[in-house]
Amino acid sequence: MTPEERRAIEWDCARLVALYANLNDETRWDEVATLYAEDGVMTRPSAPDVEIRGRDAILAAFAARPPRTTRHVCSNVVIDVEDADHARGTCAMVLYTGTTPPAVGSFHDRFVRTANGWRFSERRGTMTFSP
């Protein structure tokens, strides 16, 4: 793999992290769910031991949320390329809701290249500080 190919994968995966935060804040659940592989796994930072498995289940979990206004800020994104079709990454996350102090946590991600581009195969959230 060339350095340019590695950087392209890193960029594509980092973009996925940012897109996820933006779509989540805009309550565009169908589009959030499509960022996962069909058999993707998600754990919320507030429930890191509860796995939500599969794109349909992930969509249902988001759709079941009570309405709220949020702003997710993800930073310190580091992507490690494993090979041409797999990568992993971490990022820090701050969640603002406007009604409680910010929540601080992180995501630990696994990425897979699909026919539709890079997708999350796993997105595991954890809390560092809770309001």
Percent of the chain with pLDDT over 70: 99
Phi and psi at residue 12, in whole multiples of 5°?
A: -60, -40
DSSP state of 89: E
pLDDT of residue 129: 85
pLDDT of residue 86: 98
**Taking residues 46-74, what's their average pLDDT?**
95
What are the domain boundaries of the chain?
3-126
The CATH class of 3-126 is alpha beta
DSSP state of 100: S
Strand ranges for the chain from DSSP E: 36-44, 47-53, 71-83, 86-96, 103-114, 117-129
The token duo for 74 is 């993800």
Round to whole Å and give the CA distance between 77 and 74.
7
Cα 16 off chain centre by: 7
At 118 the three-state DSSP class reads strand
The token duo for 71 is 């702003």
The answer to which of 16-20, 45-49, 54-58, 82-86 has the lowest mean pLDDT is: 45-49
If you average pLDDT over every residue of the chain, what do you get? 96
